[in-house]
Amino acid sequence: MTSSPERIIPTDLRQEISRSYLEYAMSVIVGRALPDARDGLKPVHRRILYAMHELGLTPERPFRKCARVVGEVLGKYHPHGDTAVYDALVRMAQDFSMRSPLINGHGNFGSVDNDPPAAMRYTECRLQTLTSNAMLRDIESETVDFIDNFDGSQQEPVVLPARIPQLLVNGSSGIAVGMATNIPPHNLGEIVDGLIALIENPEITDIQLMQYIPGPDFPTGALIIGGSGIKEAYTTGRGSITMRGVAQIETVESRGRPDREAIIITELPYQTNKAALIERIADLVNDKKLEGIADIRDESDRDGMRIVIELKRDAYPKVVLNNLYKQTPIQANFGANMLALVNGEPQVITLRQFLQVFLDFRIECITRRTQYELKKAEDRDIILQGLLIALANLDRIIELIRRAADTPTARQEMMDSYGLLEVQADAILQMQLRRLTALEAEKIRLEHEELQAQINDLKDILAKRSRILEIIQAEAKEIRASHATPRQTIIEPGEDDLLDIDLIANEKSAILLTEQGYIKRMPVDTFEAQNRATRGKAGTKMKEDDVVQHFFTCCDHDSVLFFSDRGVVYCLKAYQIPVSSRTARGTPIVQLLPIPPAEKITSIVSVSEFTDEEYLVMLTGKGYVKKTALSAFSSIRANGLIAISLEEGDRLRWVRRAKPEDSIIIGTRQGMTIHFRTSHEQLRPLGRATRGVKSMSLKPKDELISMDIIPSQILNTISDTTEEETSEETVVPAGEGPWVLVITTGGLGKRVPVSRFRLQNRAGLGVLAIKFRKSGDKLAALRIVNADDELMIVTSRGIIIRQAINAISPQSRMATGVRVQKLDDDDAIAAVALVPPSNGEEDLEETE
């Protein structure tokens, strides 16, 4: 018998290739490379987690070999190579790849150096608590659809019933055919806050959501520079986010050589290979493309990452660090491409759309779970109703059963006689004799009543969307309370980021700079007001030989001008200074400003607005004073600007803001003060590159110690011919001020009425401001204050106290003052600053 010849179907090769490739492309897009926007998982990850759930690998159970899990996934759900499955499993267990890992790994699962994991026969795994609580709970409650696996022998979930937006929490990356996705990880607590904000305000915008979700939070920490890339990614679905490693400049001990400056890298950008980075730096040094580096070594251990880049003695640390940012992966870009499957179709979606898709899915899950629980409760209640009928007619039911020839006959007779359903009749026939006791009968009645209440509640949930949204909020908050962790990635404003100031609250801050160049910013609220003569709080962690040099308060939107002893001014926005805790050392200022090693910051001024109506008054160590228009400093280059011309051996010491009608008061170590006007007659305006005129005549071995400006509205209360005080005048009546606050290094202070300091011509000796109680005591600061002001005092060892001005008693110039801060034996008052007013309109600079 001959077989029929094969039929040849003519077809267009171009159409056939196009159709076949399109089918392949859609298979890759939907079934392999792109995550689902609902649970944030690709099929392979979803199958791994579900297989582990079926194997019972819950967080409280022992670890099982990864080979066992891979075999289960391959045999039941994912007929592909075992390497692909194991690689996906490993990534879900790596704490440097996932912000909130979904699998708890035991063994070698690779490292940030790109070391490969151990073979699957050696490693073990189980589910994380987060996975069980937030991804797999309620999966048996018909919350999601199930489909046949590849051979129809098993059922697998189409999606997992996630309780949090997992796709945003852990991110995702994948390359499909003709498209790719790259979603950054985020902080779980912030994502939950954003979800709750969307529930409470369905009209919320992407920009408004950024108040709750300020940006990605990478598992490796590091920094994000600028907010423009984040905003673009969140509002359009695509954006370039600049990541930068955390680097500090420290002095390290060299083997057999004098101590050197070194760049210490403690955190790297997301997905940066540490070993490859070190190799890249070494190649650039060998090729002479990176100058100033003497040695590179990796000192990382189990306590954390530490890459030491030792510098040559003549190198500028800031310049070397900037070159490292430019030429190595210490600074890299994360190309966010927010592409995910929405209803089976790939879509680029914004931040709000991500949360909305998840919220819609979660509403569906809660609805289906409630329907399942309602049906289960109603089925159980039907049986209880039958049992209650049987208990009410117990004797006749027993007689009926005894009389019946067989079980079907008894069932049918009960159904006919009492109107029971078949399931109720079966339940009565299966009821044990012990259920006939009065106690058991009461339990049945109570269970029936509880079920009735539960059924009514479940029906109410299904009828009211608000109830469902409340449940979603409550469950999300529960996950946040048990699994949220603090943010690891710090978002720092970028220089070209125009919108950053709109996203940063204009809070009051205290800024502290030590002698060795460590600077930090702390919220003023960190220090609550304390009583006079108490010790205060530690304001910074310092090295043994370091002391606080500058301390001032301002608002975060202010421009901060840093004046060096060389007469050069540098500028930063206050919010660009990193926030640190009270116990942190701070950031080396050379990381923020290009200050040469031999140059020191001697004065700092905060400015909210550069105007022609204000001037900067500058005072040098040798007593030369000048004033220059504030507007001359409105545009300061990155490498600084000349503020004053200095003669040989002189240095710039103090800079203050003033108006032409104001007056200036200057104090010396030995307690002398001079008070003269800043008017054009006494102090005419000069340009930046000028020296100034003489301010005060000093006694032998005396030196200038402080300077402050007295506003013009106070001057009309002062006579040019105020009589000298006698030594007996030690107390003056309390009033509303203003006052001259006088603080000594020994912790004593007082308020003296401004009127007690007569106006003089500049270049005089001045008058005495305080009578020292001890011979070794010196003047530490002079400040102009009002009765409702608050001051913050810092000691050379970093102890800070905040207290109200009115806690310090008013006294005369010849009084010794009262104790304002309790000091340790080796400590002394270093600086005084005033807390900015609540409206933030006035800014008060530091005093040294």
pLDDT tens-place string over residues 620-671: 988 999 999 999 998 888 888 999 999 888 999 999 999 888 899 999 999 9
Whether residue 389 sits in one domain with residue 319: no
For residue 62, the model assigns a pLDDT of 95
Residue 224 belongs to a domain: no
267 and 405 share one domain = no
CB 827 within 8 A of CB 795: yes
Least confident of 66-75, 426-435, 756-765, 803-812: 426-435
| Strand ranges for 474-556 from DSSP E | 490-492, 508-514, 518-523, 537-538, 548-555
The residue among 89, 81, 83, 87 whose CA lies nearest residue 47 is 89
- CATH number for 821: 2.120.10.90
Mean pLDDT of 53-78: 95
Q: Which residue has the higher pLDDT, 391 or 127?
A: 127
- The domain that holds 113 is classified in CATH as 3.90.199.10
| Segment 743-767 mean pLDDT | 90
Query: According to the model, what pLDDT value does residue 419 have?
Result: 86
For residues 234 and 553, which has the higher predicted lDDT (pLDDT)?
A: 234
Q: Which of 21, 122, 270, 575 is catalytic?
A: 122
CA distance 435 to 442: 10
- Report residue 180's pLDDT band, with 50, 70 and 90 as the boundaries: confident
pLDDT at 845: 42
Tell me if 316 is assigned to some domain.
yes
Angle at 697 between CA 695 and CA 699, to 5 degrees: 145
Tokens of 839: 């409206």
Instruction: Please check whether residues 657 and 799 belong to one and the same domain.
Output: yes
Least confident range of 468-472, 727-731, 826-830: 727-731
Total of domains in the chain: 4
- Can you read off the two tokens belonging to residue 722? 């105020």
pLDDT at 672: 92
Q: How much is the average pLDDT of 693-701?
A: 88
Same structural domain, 383 and 288 = no
pLDDT at 717: 54
Domain termination residue (choose one: 142, 161, 180): 161
Check whether residue 744 and residue 599 sit in a common domain: yes
**Number of helices and strands (H, E) in the chain?**
19, 41
Contacts of 634 (CB under 8 A, 6+ apart): 610
pLDDT band at 848 (very low <50, low <70, confident <90, very high): very low
If pLDDT is split at 50, 70 and 90, which confidence band does 217 have? very high
pLDDT at 598: 80
Q: Which residue bears the tokens 């919350």? A: 143
Q: What are phi and psi of 36, to 5 degrees?
A: -80, 135
pLDDT tens per residue across span 102-141: 999 999 999 988 899 999 999 999 999 999 999 999 999 9
Provide the residue type at 648 as one letter: E
Residues 679, 569 share a domain: yes
What SS3 class is residue 562? Answer: strand
The sign of the CA dihedral 43, 45, 51, 56 is: negative
Mean pLDDT over each residue of the chain, to the nearest integer: 86
The highest-confidence range among 190-194, 340-344, 529-533, 824-828, by mean pLDDT, is 190-194
Least confident of 52-66, 259-273, 780-794: 780-794
Residue 337 domain flag: no
Place of tokens 């308060």: 553
Query: Are the beta carbons of 705 and 847 closer than 8 angstroms?
Result: no
pLDDT greater than 50 at residue 499: no
Query: Exposed/middle/buried for 804, CB within 10 Å: 0-12, 13-18, 19+?
Result: middle
Residue 2's pLDDT is 53
pLDDT above 90 (res 593): no
Cα–Cα distance measured from residue 100 to residue 190, given in angstroms and rounded to the nearest whole number: 13
Which residue is it, tokens 């985020």? 186
Which pLDDT band, with edges at 50, 70 and 90, does 532 fall under?
low
Long-range contacts of 816-819 (CB under 8 A, 24+ apart): 816/748, 816/750, 816/770, 816/771, 816/772, 816/773, 817/742, 817/744, 817/748, 817/749, 817/750, 817/770, 817/773, 818/532, 818/533, 818/748, 818/749, 818/750, 819/532, 819/533, 819/747, 819/748
- Specify which residues 804 forms β-bridges with: 790
Give me the residue label for tokens 């990452």.
Answer: 305
pLDDT of 734 strictly over 70: no
Q: Are residues 623 and 754 in the same domain?
A: yes
pLDDT exceeds 50 at position 339: yes
Give the least confident one: 325-329, 445-449, 790-794.
790-794
Any domain includes 754: yes
Cβ(158)–Cβ(145) below 8 Å: yes
Average pLDDT of span 9-32: 75
Please say whether the dihedral angle defined by the alpha carbons of residues 379, 380, 385 and 386, taken in this order, is positive or negative.
Answer: positive
Q: What is the mean pLDDT of residues 268-285?
A: 93
Establish if 17 belongs to a structural domain. no
Task: Kindly indicate the confidence band of residue 390, based on its pLDDT and cuts at 50, 70 and 90.
Answer: confident
Domain boundary (128, 145, 161) is at: 161
434: exposed, middle or buried (Cβ count in 10 Å: 0-12, 13-18, 19+): exposed
Number of other residues whose CB lies within 10 A of the CB of residue 248: 18
pLDDT of 534 > 80? The answer is no
Q: What is the pLDDT of residue 711?
A: 85
Tokens 């990534």, residue located: 91
* CATH number for 252: 3.30.1360.40
pLDDT of residue 479: 95
| 173 within domain boundaries | no
CB contact at 8 A, 498 and 231:
no
Supply the range of the domain harboring residue 755.
504-834
Report the pLDDT averaged over residues 357-370. Answer: 96
Instruction: Note the pLDDT tens digit of each residue in 759-777.
Output: 888 888 889 999 898 888 8
Cβ-Cβ contacts under 8 Å for 410 (sequence gap 6 or more): 400, 401, 404, 425, 429
Q: Is there a catalytic annotation at residue 122? A: yes
- Please report which confidence band the pLDDT of residue 252 belongs to, taking 50, 70 and 90 as the band edges: confident
Characterize 203-225 residue by residue with b for buried, 16 or more Cβ atoms within 10 angstroms of its Cβ, and e for exposed: ebebeebbebbbbbbbbbbbbbb
| pLDDT above 70: residue 726 | no
User: Does residue 843 register a pLDDT over 50?
Assistant: no
Whether 699 and 555 map to the same domain: the answer is: yes
Q: Are strands 739-744 and 704-710 parallel, antiparallel or unpaired?
A: unpaired
Q: Which residues of 826-846 are buried (b: 16+ CB within 10 A; e: fewer)?
A: ebbbbbbbbbbbeebeebbbb
Q: Is 718 exposed, middle or buried (0-12, 13-18, 19+ CB in 10 A)?
A: middle
> Could you tell me if 667 and 706 are in contact, meaning their C-beta atoms sit under 8 angstroms apart?
yes
User: Distance (Å, rounded) from C-alpha 689 to C-alpha 566?
Assistant: 12
Which stretches of 717-768 are assigned E, i.e. beta strand? 739-744, 748-753, 767-768
Does residue 710 form part of some domain? yes
Q: How far apart are CA 793 and CA 800, in angstroms?
A: 6
71 and 107 housed in the same domain: yes
Q: Which residue has the tokens 């609580």?
A: 133
The pLDDT-based confidence of 846 (bands split at 50, 70, 90) is very low
Give all strands of the β-sheet with 739-744 in edge-to-edge order.
Answer: 779-785, 739-744, 748-753, 818-819
| Strand extents, DSSP E, 256-317 | 257-267, 293-298, 307-311
Query: What integer pLDDT is reported at residue 840 of this predicted model?
Result: 40
Residue 351 lies in a domain: no
The Cα–Cα gap between 373 and 461 comes to: 11
**Shared domain check, 402 and 309:** no
Question: What single DSSP character describes residue 554?
Answer: E
Which of 483, 514, 543 is the C-terminal boundary of a domain?
Answer: 483
CA separation for the pair 690, 356 (Å, rounded) = 62
Average pLDDT of 179-190? Answer: 93
Q: In whole angstroms, what is the distance from residue 124 CA to residue 52 CA?
A: 12
Task: Based on the fold, state whether residues 541 and 595 are members of the same structural domain.
Answer: yes
- The predicted model gives 719-735 an average pLDDT of 49
* Distance of alpha carbon 220 from alpha carbon 218, whole angstroms: 5
- pLDDT band of 501, cuts 50, 70, 90: low
Give me the CATH number covering residue 398.
Answer: 1.10.268.10
pLDDT in the model for residue 497 = 43
* Inter-residue contact 171 to 183 (CB < 8 Å): yes
With cut-offs at 50, 70 and 90, classify the pLDDT of residue 342.
very high
3-state secondary structure of 191: helix
Residues 6+ apart with CB under 8 A from 47: 73, 77, 78, 156
Which has more confidence, 845 or 173?
A: 173
pLDDT > 90 in the chain, percent: 47
Q: How far is CA 446 from the centre of its chain?
A: 51
Q: 821: Cβ–Cβ under 8 A, 6 or more apart, which residues?
A: 533, 534, 535, 536, 747, 793, 795, 799, 801, 829
Q: What per-residue confidence (pLDDT) applies to 204?
A: 93
Q: Which of 753, 756, 779 is nearest to 832 (CA)?
A: 779
DSSP code at position 37:
T
- Beta-ladder partners of 800: 537, 794
The proportion of the chain whose per-residue pLDDT surpasses 70, expressed as a percent, equals 90
Give CA separation, 552 vs 169, 566, 834, in Å: 39, 21, 7
* Contact call for residues 449 and 348 (beta carbons, < 8 A): no
The verdict on 601 and 742 lying in the same domain is yes
What is the Cα–Cα distance from 307 to 269, expressed in whole angstroms?
14
